[in-house]
């Protein structure tokens, strides 16, 4: 087995990896999970003698990630990028790695049915839940869900796999596990509970009752900026560690994890590694989704349109930096319920993190999957402002920026590669409407994003329409400057 990483110039796993027990099965071995939850668990093993280990699973895509991980004895590197120095850590808490389509679904389900498994966690992005973002409910007509309901013992969707594993545990007399979403959604535990229970009910009512009685779905708030891995990233990691690691990942030094302490079969003592275990995560989730993710999306659409490739490029434009800060404090912070947090300081820290020149977080990457992100990042806040008779020019500009972006052509006439699970619906709205007012109305008509009420709210429609027309006439940079000057 290739143990080259144990010679890396990095913090290495000094604990006995043979003592680790794979009590957590994680679905979605992407860059974020590698740099976030796995690092907390690795710190526990390294500094507190924890024996909690992972079985890592990719269900769809990411075959190479799993192959790369297996090829180096399930070790990989996490590099922290700051302006002045990079530091690296080799993470050793992965015991096993599986891919549903390479190793077979049965091997994945067998791993989830091992008696000691206490938690199944997920980072599958918002679209992996097969839900309608506007309502949080399972889409029974989603292609993956419809196929799984025809063949529930050979599922492909994450909800289908979780339910089949629970069904097998129930049949074998094994205890249930907790299902922990670590994706960027409000009440992510509730969303996972909704889709799991709705899917189970469509399969078998008795099974659904058992899941509702025995499984918990703790919510989490996760925060660490982890740009998509590029060849340049891997070159830099090799330069600092002396070892080439195709499974490596780079991230900012900051990390935060708030976890609802609601587990049926135990959990690691993540609080010893800096996580916050709380009774109610929702206020923290809303704070992060609206202030961080909402301003990130704002910068992604309007920055991309202006030709800024990275978030730190946007931060060098004084108007963009002030607009992001004003969006956070003037339009997002008032909508929040979180207590005991200095939101002005939080906003300042976010601007500082965005300005990190080492991160090079692409605006195009953040702009992906907007249909899944707009409801919780911007539209929930818009609803608050409408209810409280307050204005929301920057939120309206953010929504207009998304509309301009999904039009598929930037301000220089170049094609934009729009990535979104609702792309066919979005393209139908774009192609079926003339540029301008008609385009805005067509996109507002996508119920899965905007719901039923918002498109009937004249104040919202007018604000978005006005911002959209400014973007068409003046371009993104001038529009950001003008909206900022009017605040």
* pLDDT, position 1: 43
Q: Please check whether residues 325 and 437 belong to one and the same domain.
A: yes
**Closest to 356 measured CA to CA, from 316, 408, 324, 319:** 316
User: Is 406 within 8 Å of 418 (Cβ atoms)?
Assistant: yes
Q: What share of the chain is helix, strand, coil (3-state, %, to 5)?
A: 55, 15, 35
CATH number of the domain residue 404 falls in: 1.10.1040.10
Q: Please check whether residues 171 and 288 belong to one and the same domain.
A: no
pLDDT tens-place string over residues 269-293: 999 999 999 999 999 999 999 999 9
Q: Please check whether residues 202 and 311 belong to one and the same domain.
A: no
b/e map of 380-419 (b: 16 or more CB within 10 Å)? Answer: bbbbbbbeeeeebbbbbbbbbbbbbbbbbebbeeeebebe
Q: What sign for the dihedral angle of Cα 31, 32, 38, 43?
A: positive
Cα 124 from Cα 111, distance rounded (Å): 18
Q: What is the count of structural domains for the chain?
A: 2
Q: Please check whether residues 128 and 149 belong to one and the same domain.
A: yes
State residue 269 phi and psi, 5-degree precision. -85, 65
Q: Please check whether residues 326 and 289 belong to one and the same domain.
A: yes
DSSP string, 405-452: HHTTB-TTSPBP----TTHHHHHHHHHTS-TTHHHHHHHHT-HHHHTT
Q: Please check whether residues 233 and 250 belong to one and the same domain.
A: yes
pLDDT tens-place string over residues 383-426: 999 999 999 999 999 999 999 999 999 999 999 999 999 999 99
Q: Please check whether residues 296 and 148 belong to one and the same domain.
A: no
Q: Which residue stretches of the chain have pLDDT < 70?
A: 1-2, 487
User: Is 373 within 8 Å of 186 (Cβ atoms)?
Assistant: no
**Among the three residues 278, 304, 339, which one is the final residue of a domain in this structure?**
278
User: Is 125 within 8 Å of 183 (Cβ atoms)?
Assistant: yes
b/e map of 149-165 (b: 16 or more CB within 10 Å)? Answer: eeebeebbbbbbbbbbb
**Among the three residues 244, 278, 312, which one is the final residue of a domain in this structure?**
278
Q: Please check whether residues 249 and 316 belong to one and the same domain.
A: no
Q: Please check whether residues 413 and 331 belong to one and the same domain.
A: yes
By residue range, what is the domain housing residue 439? 282-486
**Closest to 465 measured CA to CA, from 428, 446, 438, 487:** 438
* pLDDT, position 409: 94
CATH number of the domain residue 40 falls in: 3.40.50.720
């Amino acid at each position: 087995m290739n143990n080259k990483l144990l010679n890396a110039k990095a913090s290495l796993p000094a604990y006995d990896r043979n003592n680790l027990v794979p009590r957590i099965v994680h679905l979605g071995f992407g860059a974020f999970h590698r740099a976030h939850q796995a690092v907390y668990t690795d710190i526990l093993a390294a500094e507190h003698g924890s024996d909690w280990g992972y079985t890592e699973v990719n269900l769809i895509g990411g075959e190479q990630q799993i192959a790369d991980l297996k090829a180096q004895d399930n070790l990989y590197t996490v590099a922290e990028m700051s302006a002045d120095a990079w530091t690296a850590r080799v993470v050793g808490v992965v015991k096993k790695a599986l891919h549903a389509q390479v190793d077979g679904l049965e091997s994945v389900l067998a791993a989830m049915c091992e008696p000691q498994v206490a938690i199944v966690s997920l980072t599958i992005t918002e679209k992996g839940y097969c839900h309608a973002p506007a309502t949080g409910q399972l889409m029974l007509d989603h292609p993956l869900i419809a196929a799984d309901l025809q063949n529930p013992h050979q599922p492909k969707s994450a909800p289908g796999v979780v339910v089949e594993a629970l069904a097998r545990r129930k049949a074998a007399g094994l205890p249930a596990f907790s299902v922990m979403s670590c994706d960027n959604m409000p009440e992510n535990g509730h969303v996972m509970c909704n889709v799991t229970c709705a899917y189970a009910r469509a399969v078998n009512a008795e099974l659904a009752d058992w899941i509702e009685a025995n499984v918990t779905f703790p919510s989490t708030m996760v925060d660490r900026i982890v740009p998509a891995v590029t060849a340049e990233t891997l070159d830099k990691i090799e330069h600092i560690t002396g070892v080439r690691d195709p499974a490596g990942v780079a991230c900012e030094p900051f990390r935060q994890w708030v976890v609802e302490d609601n587990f049926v079969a135990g959990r690691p003592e993540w609080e010893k590694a800096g996580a916050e275990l709380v009774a109610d995560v929702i206020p923290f989730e809303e704070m992060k989704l609206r202030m961080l993710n909402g301003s990130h999306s704002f910068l992604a659409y309007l920055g991309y349109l202006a030709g800024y490739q990275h978030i730190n490029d946007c931060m060098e434009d004084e108007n963009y930096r002030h607009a992001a800060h004003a969006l956070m404090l003037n339009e997002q912070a008032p909508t929040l319920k979180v207590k005991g947090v200095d939101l002005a300081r939080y906003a300042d820290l976010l601007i500082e993190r965005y300005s990190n020149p080492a991160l090079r977080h692409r605006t195009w990457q953040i702009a992906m999957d907007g249909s899944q992100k707009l409801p919780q990042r911007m539209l929930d806040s818009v609803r608050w402002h409408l209810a409280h008779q307050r204005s929301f020019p920057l939120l309206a500009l953010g929504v207009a920026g998304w509309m301009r972006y999904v039009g598929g052509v930037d301000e220089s006439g170049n094609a934009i590669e729009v990535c979104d699970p609702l792309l066919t619906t979005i393209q139908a709205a774009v192609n079926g409407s003339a540029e301008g007012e008609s385009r805005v109305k067509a996109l507002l008509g996508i119920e899965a994003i905007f719901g039923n009420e918002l498109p009937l709210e004249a104040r919202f429609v007018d604000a978005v329409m006005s911002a959209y027309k400014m973007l068409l006439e003046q371009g993104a940079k001038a529009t950001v400057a003008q909206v900022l000057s009017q605040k």
